[in-house]
């Protein structure tokens, strides 16, 4: 079992406590690993994980 205690974007370095904000509002995690935020995800790579 893999645990990810703190999410941190591997691209921009934002975290749960320091989310980057764009015209769409604060970013959100785009994967279960919480290492890629919505602000750093291009449309072609976008794959929502509910
Ligand atoms: Zn990011
Ligand atoms: Zn972000």
For ion ligand 2, residues whose CB falls within 5 Å: 9, 14, 20, 27, 37, 39
**Spatial distance between the Cα atoms of 10 and 28, rounded to a whole number of angstroms:** 13
Q: In angstroms, what is the span from residue 14 Cα to ligand 2's centroid? A: 5
**Spatial distance between the Cα atoms of 30 and 36, rounded to a whole number of angstroms:** 6
Q: In angstroms, what is the span from residue 11 Cα to ligand 2's centroid? A: 8
How open is the CA angle 17-23-9, to the nearest 5 degrees? 35
For residue 6, the model assigns a pLDDT of 76
**Spatial distance between the Cα atoms of 46 and 40, rounded to a whole number of angstroms:** 10
For residue 4, the model assigns a pLDDT of 55
Q: What is the pLDDT of residues 1-50, one digit of tens each?
A: 766 567 899 999 999 999 999 888 999 999 999 999 999 986 555 455 55
């Amino acid at each position: 079992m893999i645990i990810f205690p703190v999410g941190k974007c591997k691209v921009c370095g934002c975290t749960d406590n320091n989310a980057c904000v764009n015209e769409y509002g604060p970013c959100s995690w785009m994967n279960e690993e919480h290492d890629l935020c919505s602000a750093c995800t291009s449309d072609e790579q976008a794959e929502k994980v509910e």
